[in-house]
Amino acid sequence: MELNKELNKTTTDSKGNVVTKIRENNKPAFWFLMPSLLILTLFTFYPMIMTIYNSFFATNIRGESAKFVGLNNYFDIFKDPLFLKSLAGTLVYVVLFALVTIVLGVVLARLATMKLRRIGWFQTAFAGTMGTSAAAASILWLFLFNPSVGIVSFALKAMGVSKTNLLVDPTGAMIVIVLASVWMALGFAFLILLSAFQSVPPEYYEVADIAGWSQFKQTLKITVPMISPTLFFLFVVEIIDGFKMFAQIDLITGGGPNNATNFLAYKIYQDAFVFHNFGTASAESIVLTVIIALATWIQFHFTERKVYYA
């Protein structure tokens, strides 16, 4: 009882203090925030401003912003067939990647919510690809599709297919990159979808059982609409991820064949660090930033609504 009284007293005391403390609290808060602010200023805000600045300049041989050219870098990239090809290829890749990841994720989540003993083991296995780094996974996928030792090539040969090297074909290379990327993203998507599946109240399924709905119909007409906020969240997350994809290209196709997989992030890297054309690369970076910022804004906006929904 006495402790309670004390607590109440200190509560009101401290509440009284809070009002007077607001003004003198600026300093300690500054020290708590300063380290993070310093890093973010130096390595996020400053470089972003510099990228915008550089995008208005032509670059000289030494990599310095030498001559102000206004919006010319932007006009140039949007007239450059290679950049337009990169942008179109990126869009195709990103949409395919996000859709296939989500569809497969839903299938896996449905399988992993069957009422069976030891289902946890299968949940662990399905999430397993989450632990593979892009670089190691790329080597594994390169091995699958390598024309001389890849098991897919051997299989195609055995089936009498003459074109066994998918990676020299633009469509084939796109398919391999999409599959490899989906595989890498699937573990995370599965875990998110699994918890969404588990949050659907079981009564819905019980009623549907009585109505004689098939499992497939239940998933399509009950689960999917119920988890639509999660599906949308994942879709946007995968879109953002897709636009930033880099390692798979660098290790599996190198942007080829004939620039068919020279997607945006890879093109920026090449223009900057292979061709040392910082002005062009900066303009391309800003295009990427606008896309990502827009997608992230949609995600934040949506998440806010989803909190109310849940």
Partner 1 sequence: MTHVKTGARYLLLTVVAVLLLFPILLGIWASLLPTKDIAAGNFLSTNISLNNYWQAFVTTPIIRYMINSFVTAGLITIGQLVLCTLAAYAFAFMNFRYKKQLFFAFLVTMMLPFEAEIIPNFQTVKAFGWLNNYAGLTIPFFTSAFGVFMLRQAFLQIPTDLVDFGKYLGLSRLQFLWKIAVPYSRSMMITFALYTFLTHWNQYLWPLITTFTDDFRPVQVGLKQLQSEDTFANWGMVMATAIIVLLPTLILLLIGQKFFKRNLNAGGTKG
Rounded to 10 degrees, the C-alpha dihedral 133/138/144/150 comes to: -130
- Give one DSSP letter per residue of 226-252, joined into a string: HTHHHHHHHHHHHHHHHHH--HHIIII
Give least dist CB 153 to partner 1, A: 9
Instruction: Count the residues of the shown chain that bind partner 1, applying the rule CB under 8 A.
Output: 102
CA distance between the termini of the chain:
39
Residue with tokens 């973010």: 40
Q: Which two tokens stand for residue 172?
A: 């084939």
Question: Binding to partner 1 (CB under 8 A): which residues in 159-188?
Answer: 183, 186, 188
Q: Is 263 in the site for partner 1 (CB under 8 A)?
A: no
CB count within 10 Å of CB 228 equals 13
Residues near 6 by beta carbon (within 8 Å), at least 6 away in sequence:
none
- Using CB under 8 A as the binding rule, the residues of this chain from 200 to 259 that contact partner 1 are 230, 233, 243-244, 246-247, 250-251
Closest distance between partner 1 and the C-beta of residue 144, in Å?
A: 6
- Residue number with CB closer to partner 1 (173 or 182): 182
| 3-62 binders of partner 1 (CB under 8 A) | 6-7, 10-11, 14, 18, 21-22, 25-26, 28-30, 32-33, 35-37, 39-40, 42-48, 50-51, 54
HSE of 132 in the Cβ direction (CA atoms, 13 Å)?
Answer: 23
Residue 273 engages partner 1 in binding (rule: CB under 8 A): yes
> Could you say which of 69, 192, 239, 260 contacts partner 1 (CB under 8 A)?
192
Shortest distance (Å) from residue 131 CB to partner 1: 4
Buried b (16+ CB within 10 A) or exposed e, 16-43: eeeeeeeeeeeeeeeeeeeeeeeeeeee
Q: Is 130 in the site for partner 1 (CB under 8 A)?
A: yes
Report, in Å, the least distance between residue 306 CB and partner 1. 7
From candidates 124, 163, 206, 217, binder to partner 1 by CB under 8 A: 124
